[in-house]
Amino acid sequence: MISPFDILKYTQLADYFKSPEFRNILLWAKLISYSISTLLIFSMIILLTRSRATWWVAERLDSFRKPNLPERMQKDWEKINDRIEKGDEASLKLAIIEADNMLEDVLKRMGLEGKDMGERLGQLNTEQFKSYNDVLEAHRLRNLIVHQKDIIITKEQAEKAVKAYEEGLRELEVL
């Protein structure tokens, strides 16, 4: 049973919640919580930009700004495949170099820093980029081609390297 004393307590409590003093406390609590929320949001933005966690957003926005990029890449990739089919040593070497350049361009667009492809690939690992090991091996072959002019490349080596680059570009959703 509710006593008159309990009703008096509830009435006083309700009056306190309606009072200007409580509204003042509530106003300060709102201001403090808004300030903390704003500070946390800005902190998150700063941390995300410093960690480069938004590289994929930049890549997607860049592809929207240049809508013909996938079409151009597809045409360039067809040229690379034509060079492989041609089969002569010069075409095979050129196909590997062009595939490497294509992947390097994509990695630059993703915001990976470095003076060359090796440094950009060094920022990735097999968890982030499943075809990392194959692409790294293909890049080493490309470096041999560029730095040792008398190296002989077989069609099988070229096909394997170009396939690694193709898998990498498909994984990055460019091809």
Q: What is the pLDDT of residues 65-75, one digit of tens each?
A: 555 567 788 89
- Domain extent, residue 100, equals 55-171
Are 104 and 166 in a shared domain?
A: yes
Are 140 and 122 in a shared domain?
A: yes
Q: Which range has the worst mean pLDDT, 79-93, 100-114, 133-147?
A: 100-114
- Rounded mean pLDDT, 3-32: 86
Are 15 and 80 in a shared domain?
A: no
* pLDDT single digits (tens) 102-119: 999 888 888 888 888 888
Are 32 and 63 in a shared domain?
A: no
Question: Is the pLDDT at 93 greater than 60, yes or no?
Answer: yes
- Rounded mean pLDDT, 135-146: 94
Are 103 and 158 in a shared domain?
A: yes
Listed residues 50, 65, 85: the one ending a domain: 50
Are 36 and 82 in a shared domain?
A: no
Are 9 and 67 in a shared domain?
A: no
Are 41 and 82 in a shared domain?
A: no
CA gap 55, 51 in Å, rounded: 9
Question: Is the pLDDT at 27 greater than 70, yes or no?
Answer: yes
Q: What is the pLDDT of residue 73?
A: 85
Are 107 and 132 in a shared domain?
A: yes
Q: Please give the tally of structural domains in the chain.
A: 2
